[in-house]
Amino acid sequence: AQSVTQLDSHVSVSEGTPVLLRCNYSSSYSPSLFWYVQHPNKGLQLLLKYTSAATLVKGINGFEAEFKKSETSFHLTKPSAHMSDAAEYFCVVSDRPGNTPLVFGKGTRLSVIA
């Protein structure tokens, strides 16, 4: 069975400092992993995805994540936070080759302080 654990429910950083949002996964197969962002009262936007190619994945808005199989982790990072990064972030897993729908983590709320 697949599952995903976001280790922090809330992360607060100062503008211009690095961002680290942590995610661990469990999967019976080789997983696909995603980070989605949701701004208040908006839908979900795909930030980046890992689908078995390069383990360091670059996404939009300067975010990146590294797939570490030995640690079953897929942490999201950004070198310098911007006020507009304040949002809810979801780590999501999909087993391959299955037909199972995406499984969401509980989310991490990122606050950016001026």
Partner 1 sequence: DTEVTQTPKHLVMGMTNKKSLKCEQHMGHRAMYWYKQKAKKPPELMFVYSYEKLSINESVPSRFSPECPNSSLLNLHLHALQPEDSALYLCASSQDRKGARYGYTFGSGTRLTVV
Backbone region of residue 99 per phi and psi (left: phi > 0; alpha: psi in -120 to 50; beta: other values) = alpha
Residues that bind partner 1 (CB under 8 A): 32, 34, 36, 41-46, 49, 51, 90, 92, 94, 96-97, 99, 101-102, 104-107, 109
Nearer to partner 1, 29 or 68 (CB): 29
Smallest gap, in angstroms, from Cβ of residue 106 to partner 1? 6
Between 30 and 80, CB nearer to partner 1: 30
> Which phi and psi angles does 113 have, rounded to 5°?
-100, 135
Q: How far is the CB of 103 from partner 1 (least distance, A)?
A: 9
The distance between the two most distant Cα atoms of the chain, rounded to a whole number of Å, is 44
User: Of the two residues 18 and 101, which places its CB atom closer to partner 1 in the complex?
Assistant: 101
**Burial of 105 by CB count in 10 Å (0-12 exposed, 13-18 middle, 19+ buried)?**
buried
> In the complex with partner 1, which residue's Cβ is closer, 32 or 72?
32
Q: In this structure, how many other beta carbons lie within 10 angstroms of the beta carbon of residue 103?
A: 18
Min. distance of Cβ 34 from partner 1 in angstroms?
Answer: 5
